[in-house]
Amino acid sequence: MIEKGKISAYQMGILMFPTILATALLFVPSITAQHAERDLWLSPIWASSIGFFIVYIVYQLNKLYPEMSIIEYSTHIIGRIPGKLIGLVYIVFYLHVNGIVIREYGEFVVSSSLITTPLVILLGSMVLVCAFAVRGGVEVLGRCAQIFMPGVTLLFLLLIVLLIPDLHSNNMFPMMEHGLKPSILGSIVPQGWLSEFMLTSFLFPFLSDREKGMKWGMISVVAVMLLMVLTNFAILFLFGGITGDLVYPVMTAAKYISLAGFFEHLESIVMAIWVASAFVKISVFYYVIVLGTAQWLNLSDYRPLVLPIGFILLLFSLWAAPNLQELTHFLGTSSTFYFVSVQVGIPLLLLSITLVKGEKK
Amino acid sequence: MRFVKKAFKNLLGSSSHKPLNNSQQEANQQPTLSMNLNENLQALDSIYADCSDIVIHNFLIAGKTKALLIYIEGLSNIDLIHQHVLAPLMQESVAEDANTNRILQTKISVSNRKNVVTVVDVIEQISNGNPVLLVDQQRQGIALGLAKWEKRGVEEPMAESVIRGPREGFTETLGINTSLLRRKIKSPALKMKSIKVGRYTQTQIVIAYIEGIAEPTLIEEVENRIQRIDMDGILESGYIEEMIEDNPLSPFPQLLTTERPDVATGSLLEGRVVILVDGTPFVLIAPTTLASLMHSPEDYYQRFMISTLIRWLRYSFFLISLLVPSAYVAILTYHQEMIPTTLLLSVAKSREEIPFPALVEAFLMEITFEALREAGVRLPKQVGAAVSIVGALVIGQAATSAGLVSAPMVMVVAITGIASFMIPHYTIGIALRMLRFPIMILAGMLGLLGLMLGIIMIVIHLCTLRSFGVPYLSPLAPMKGRDMKDVLFRAPLWMLNTRPHLTGEENKYRQAPGQKPDPTKGGEHG
C-alpha cells in the first residue's frame, strides 16, 4: 500500500468531525434558516440520515475490498476504463470542493479580522501548512485532530455557555408552524455537508481496527448532528427571525460575549480557534486528493505530489468563485445536488452493481 | 549485471564499514604477548614512546625471575601496588623450589585480577588504570584491579533541584553512576551492557535496563544505534544523543537527559532504557515523550493533589513561555478591539514615546533577555554582580524611562522568562526559547491567525516526531486513556497500577491493585 501508517477507528471518527463541521458551522445555520426559519434546529437531524446512509454504503464496499479506496475498487467493479473515469471524477471533484473550502476559510478570515491582508497570502499560507501535515501521512493527520479537536470543541461549547444570558428560548415557538416541510427543505443544504462522510472510504483501508470503523463512523455522524443542532439552537435563541440574513451567524454571536466587562470582542480568538478545525478539514481533503491521485496513477509514493497539488489547490480556491456572495449563493442552491450525486450517487451505484454481480455468480 | 554491481557494492560497504573501535574483534587478530620479556618490553616501549606518564618498572621476582610492572601515573593506587604486589614478590626469602606460577598465585593479595593475552589487552587495562604485571617465560600477563584516580564525590545535581527528594546526583565516573543505580534497584534483573565507543577516547557506555520490563526490541535498537557510531571521541552524552536521534533536524530533544539517579530509576521501572556515558553526569533515557519531559521527579514525592496542580501550572506556563510575546504582538498590532478600553488607553500611553513597532520592540527585548541569560551562565563568579546590575537596568525601569521599550513589554518579557524556567528539563526549555522567535514573526505578519498557524506547524511537527518508535505526543496522540492518569493528572500512587502503554507493555502491572490505604482494612494486628 502507498500509505504505511495506520490510524484507529476512533481517530478516524475524530478526524471526520471537523471535516464536516468546520465550514458547516460558518455557513449552514443561516442557509438553513432561510428555508426552515424557526425549525432550523430540526434540519440537521433530517440531514444526518444521509450521513448514516453513506457511512453504511462505504463500509459495505470496504468489506468487499478491504485494502482499497474507491479509486482502486471502482476499476475492479466496473472495469478498467469506466473505473478510472470514476476515479478522475473524484479527484477533480475533491480538488474543486477543497478549493471551495479553502476559499471559504480565506473569505472568513478576511471579513472577520485581517481585512487588508491579500487573499492569496492567507490561502497560500494555509495550503502550505496543510501540505506539511499531508506529507506526514494519515497518522499525523489523525494525531493532529486528536490534539486539536477536544480543545476546539470544548472552547466552542464554552462560547455557547457564555452566550446563555442572551439566549431566549421563546424564539423557537411556535414549533413546526407549517408542518415538517420547511425543516426538511432546510435540511437539503446540510445534506451536502454530511455527504462528505464519503471521505471515510479513503480512510477505512488504513484502520488498525477495521471492524470498529462502522461504529466510529456512525458516532462521528451523531456527534456532528448533535453539535449542529446545538449551534442552531443557540443561534435561533440569540437571533430569532434574523438568522437567515446573517453571513456568519456564529461569528456574530461571538460578538455578544461579554465577561466581567473585560473579555469582549473575542471574534479574533474565535477565528483563531476555528482555524485549527479548518486546518484539519482542508488537510483531510488535501490528503484524499493526493492519495487518490497517487492511487489513480499507480504511483508507489504520494509525497512528491503534495506540493504540485497544493499549488493547483491554491488556483482552484482562487477560481472557486468571484466573491463571497456568489460562493454562498452556490452553496445555498446547486451545491447540494452536486455534492450528493458524486459522494452518494456513485458509491450507491457501485454497491448495487457489486450486489447484482454477486447474485449472478 | 545489476546483480554483480549490487554484490560488489555490498562487498565494498562491508569492508569500508568495519568498525575501528570494536576491540574484541581486533583483539583476535592482534599478536599475543611474547614469551620473552625483553620483546614485550621493546613492544611496549615503542608503543608508549614519548608518554611521560607511563611507568614501566623492571624488577626480579624472588630475586631471580625477571618481571615488569606497567601502569599510568595518577590512574593506579601506588600504595596498594607497593604493599600487595611489589613488596611480597620482591621478597627473597621464598623457598628455592617454588616455581613462578605458584609465587604469583600465593603472593599477590589482590582479588580483582584478570589474565591478559594480547598487547591490545595490556594497553586497554593500563588505560583503565589497572597495572599490568608481565613475567618472563609466561604467555599471560596479569592485570590487577588497582585503579584509582581523582574523582568528584556524589553531590546534589545543580540543574535539577528539588525540595523533597534524594539529594544525590550522578558524577563523571561511570563506576559510581552504575553503583548509584544498583543501590536503588537491587534485583539482578537490572542489566548493564557495556559498549566502547570512540576511536581515540574508547569511552565506555553502559546501556542499563530491567529485564522483563523493557522490550527486547527496544534494547536491541538502542544497542544497534550506539554501535553504529564511529567517531573520534565521545566527550559528553550529547554526542551520543545527537548520533542516535530519530529526527536529527528537530528542535525538540528526543532523549531525556538527567543528572538524578531517582529519575533514571523511575524510567527504568517504566520500561525505558538508560544510557550512561563515562565522563559525564548526564545520562540519557530512551524513549522519551513530551509528557515525560514536562514531569519533575518531585511530582511523585509530593502529595498528589499538589502535584496535579503544579503540573497544570507547568503546562500553562509551557504555553505562556511559547506564546505570550507573540500574542502580545498580534493583539497590539491587529486586534486592538480585544483590549478593554481602559487597558488600551494605558497601553497606548506607555507606547506613545516608543519609536519601534511592537514586533521590533518584542524582538529587541527577547534577544536582550536571551543574551543576559546566556551571559549569566558563562560569566565568571567574580563579575556576576556586575552583570545582574546591568541586566536589571537593561530590562527594567531604565529601559522604559529611556523611551526605548514600553513598560508592558518589559512585563511580557519577564513573564516569559519566568515561564521558561518553570519547565523541569532544560533541553525542552531551550527548544521553546528558540521557537518563540518564528512565532513572533508570524504573529507580526498575520496576527492571531499567524500565531495559530505557528501552533499548527509545531503540532504537526510534534505529531511526526518519534523517539525510538514511540510517538512523541503519546499518550495524547495517539490517545491512550489509561495513561492519562500520569499526564493530565498525577493520580495517587495506589492508582498508578499500570506502566505506560508503549514502553511497559512487556510487564503491564507494576503493583498489586486495590492498595488504597484505609484504616478500617485491618490486618493481623487490627
**Residue in the block written with cell 484539519:** A280
Contact A269/B at CB under 8 A: yes
**What are all long-range contacts of B344-349, with beta carbons under 8 Å and residues at least 24 apart?**
B347/B406, B347/B408
Contact A122 B449 (CB under 8 A): yes
Contact A146 B449 (CB under 8 A): no
The pLDDT value given to residue A98 = 93
- CB contacts < 8 A, A to B, total 93
Residue B184 and residue B255 in one domain: yes
Helix or strand (DSSP H, E) at B138: none
User: Given a cut of 90, is residue A125 above it in pLDDT?
Assistant: yes
Cβ-Cβ contacts under 8 Å, A132 against chain B: 457, 460
Residue B91 and residue B139 in one domain: yes
The pLDDT value given to residue B162 = 86
Contact A45/B at CB under 8 A: no
Residues 6+ apart with CB under 8 A from A356: none
Facing A144 at nearest CB: one of B337, B453, B460: B460
- Domain termination residue (choose one: B439, B454, B471): B471
Residue B327 and residue B421 in one domain: yes
3-state secondary structure of B481: helix
Cβ-Cβ contacts under 8 Å, B471 against chain A: 143
Cβ-Cβ contacts under 8 Å, A268 against chain B: 331, 334-335, 337-338, 447-448
> Å from A286 to nearest chain B CA?
15
Residue B275 and residue B338 in one domain: no
Q: Is B161 a member of any domain?
A: no
Give whole-number Cα distances, B289 to A216, B162, B487, in Å: 28, 22, 11
Q: Is B150 a member of any domain?
A: no
Q: By residue range, what is the domain housing residue B220?
A: 174-288
Facing B464 at nearest CB: one of A140, A147, A265: A140
The pLDDT value given to residue B39 = 85
Q: Report ipTM (2 d.p.).
A: 0.92
Q: Is B119 a member of any domain?
A: yes
Q: Is B159 a member of any domain?
A: no
Residue B178 and residue B139 in one domain: no
Q: How confident is the model at residue B30 (pLDDT cuts 50, 70, 90)?
A: low
Residue B273 and residue B376 in one domain: no
- Candidates A224, A197, A213, A222; CA nearest to A344 is A197
The pLDDT value given to residue B285 = 93
Residue B350 and residue B394 in one domain: yes
How far is Cα B450 from Cα B452, in angstroms, rounded to an integer?
5
Q: How confident is the model at residue B227 (pLDDT cuts 50, 70, 90)?
A: very high
Angle between helices B426-464 and B407-421 (to 10 degrees): 90
Helix or strand (DSSP H, E) at B207: strand B203-210
Q: Is B157 a member of any domain?
A: no
3-state secondary structure of A8: coil
How far is Cα B477 from Cα B472, in angstroms, rounded to an integer?
8
Q: Are A148 and B457 in contact (CB under 8 A)?
A: no
Contact B460 A136 (CB under 8 A): yes
Q: Is B342 a member of any domain?
A: yes
What is the CATH number that goes with domain A9-356? 1.20.1740.10
The pLDDT value given to residue B12 = 43
Contact A319/B at CB under 8 A: no
Output the CA torsion sign for A130, A132, A134, A136: negative
Residue B192 and residue B113 in one domain: no
User: Given a cut of 70, is residue B19 above it in pLDDT?
Assistant: no
The pLDDT value given to residue B184 = 92
Residues belonging to chain B: 526
Contact B460 A133 (CB under 8 A): yes
Q: Is B309 a member of any domain?
A: no
Facing B338 at nearest CB: one of A129, A144, A268: A268
Contact A272 B460 (CB under 8 A): no
Every domain of chain A and the residues it spans: 9-356
Contact A147 B476 (CB under 8 A): yes
Residue B208 and residue B68 in one domain: no
Q: What is the pTM of this model?
A: 0.88
Count up the domains in chain B and report the number.
3
Q: Chain A: residue nearest B343 by CA? A: A262
Q: Is B483 a member of any domain?
A: no
User: Given a cut of 80, is residue B472 above it in pLDDT?
Assistant: yes
Q: Which of B290, B479, B488 to mutate to test the interface with A (most CBs of A within 10 A)?
A: B479
